[in-house]
Amino acid sequence: MLLSGGGERPRKPEDLIDSRLMARLDRIDLRTRRIFAGRIQGERRSKTRGQSVEFEDFREYVEGDDLRFIDWNVYARLDRLIIKIFLEEEDLALHLVIDASTSMEAGSPSKLVFSARLAMALAYVGLVNQNRVAVSVMGLPGRTGLVRLGDRRGRRHVHRLGQFLVDTLWSDEVVRARAATGAPAPGGDFTGALTTLARSRVGKGVMVVMSDLLAPEGYEAGLRNLAAAGGYDTWILQVLSPGEIDPAVDVEAGLTGDLRLLDAETGRATEVTITNALIKRYRERLKSWCDGINAYCLAREMTHLLVRSDAELERVIMDTLRRRGMVG
């Protein structure tokens, strides 16, 4: 929230994802730690017993079982009726949620640009693996409520989804609202947006929320309502800029001495004097705050990860998210 974002705004889907990264992402798929039933068949293994071609186990025949699944070879050898059990191939719903409030403009690249690129990459993984992918944008300056792109499936929707992100996050109307001076434009209702998502979501799957969690009203109520709705394997990716993680980065860039800081979310101004002691206290407070978010999410069976906005996108996906089990 200290410095505005740098770099040009994305203007086309290719500014969010390139062919080299797509080639790398073609090798992975989404994963989930929970088992969900899809609406139509997709390319995902679940523990729902079904009629796919992948064999899992045997069990004794009981009256009412489908006779087609009796292993007649076993019957011929052992005179026992044994049923083959298969893993059912089911689809997975992926819902991506991007916080576009004014504080997300901090950093270079900005937290918003990084979040959009991460969302585009995860959407690509979902689409090419025939999973349902939906996107919601909350906190748009000058707008209230959510802007959504409903379920899409298949590689042919990659460009359409990327264009939706560009048109929604960087439309001329939104850019003007972000650039306006004075109090921030309405739109940053974190709690209301997540509550709406919790009430309106249909089915089950994986939800990924990308936000700095710097909501004036706090993060607790929104995340609590999202968790209470159940049904989703929910990831909270907290995106912060390098200067927010360690203000010493901005001090090296000339942000020092007596300063007047403007809160990007509320418009409130604060007079501060940047000193080494103040930076030390800030680091301690930030660690305590992030630890609290992590504990809050853990208690509600959500995964919280802190990500820098200048992180290498491929490494975040292929290393961090892979190790944590979102993709594989």
Asked, for residue 2, whether it belongs to a domain, the answer is no
| pLDDT band, residue 135 (cuts 50/70/90) | very high
Question: Do 51 and 180 fall within a single domain?
Answer: no
Q: Lowest-pLDDT range, 19-28, 215-224, 267-276? A: 267-276
Do the bridges between strand 232-240 and strand 132-138 make them parallel or antiparallel, or are there none, so unpaired?
A: unpaired
Per the domain annotation, does 242 fall within a domain? yes
- Structural domain contains residue 40: no
Its pTM stands at: 0.82
Domain enclosing residue 67, as ranges? 46-89
Q: Which amino acid is at 134?
A: A
In a domain, 41, yes or no: no
**Do 84 and 127 belong together in one domain?**
no
Total number of domains in the chain: 2
Give CA–CA dist 90/147, Å, rounded: 28
Short-list 139, 191, 181, CA closest to 269: 181
Domain membership flag for residue 7: no
Q: What is the dihedral of CA 100, 16, 171, 211, to 10 degrees?
A: 0
Q: Looking at the structure, do residues 161 and 205 belong to the same domain, yes or no? A: yes
pLDDT of residue 42: 43
Q: Do 59 and 119 have their domain in common?
A: no
Q: Which pLDDT does position 215 carry in this prediction?
A: 93
- Asked whether residue 8 is domain-assigned, the answer is no
* Neighbour-count burial for 168-194, b at 16+ CB within 10 Å, e otherwise: bbbeeebeebbeeeeebbebbbbbbbb
271 shares a domain with 127: yes
Q: Which residues contact 29 (CB under 8 A, 6 or more apart)?
A: 43, 44, 125, 129, 327, 328
Q: Is residue 211 part of a domain?
A: yes
Amino acid in the structure at residue 173: E
| 149 and 263 share one domain | yes
% the chain with pLDDT above 70: 80
Whether 133 and 154 map to the same domain: the answer is: yes
Is residue 239 within 8 Å of 114, Cβ to Cβ? yes
Q: Do 82 and 223 belong together in one domain?
A: no
Is 111 found in the same domain as 76? Answer: no
Q: Are residues 193 and 56 in the same domain?
A: no
Confidence at 266, pLDDT banded by 50, 70, 90: confident
When pLDDT is averaged across residues 63-92 and rounded to a whole number, the result is: 70
Q: Write the CB contacts of 103 (distance below 8 Å, at least 6 apart in sequence).
A: 1, 111, 188, 212, 214, 264, 265
CATH code where residue 168 lies: 3.40.50.410
Query: Is the peptide bond preceding residue 109 cis, with omega within 30 degrees of 0?
Result: yes
Considering the domain architecture, whether residues 144 and 255 belong to the same structural domain is answered as yes
Cβ neighbors of 135 (< 8 A, separation 6 or more) are 95, 96, 97, 98, 119, 123, 148, 149, 161, 164, 165
- pLDDT of 48 higher than 50: no
Q: Mean pLDDT throughout 31-35?
A: 70
The per-residue pLDDT for 283 is 95
Indicate if the alpha-carbon torsion angle 208, 209, 212, 218 is positive or negative: negative
pLDDT digits (tens, 9 = 90+) for 165-222: 999 999 998 888 887 744 455 556 899 999 999 988 766 789 999 999 999 999 999 9
Q: Same domain, yes or no, for 97 and 73?
A: no
- CA atoms in the 13 A half-sphere facing the CB of 49: 10
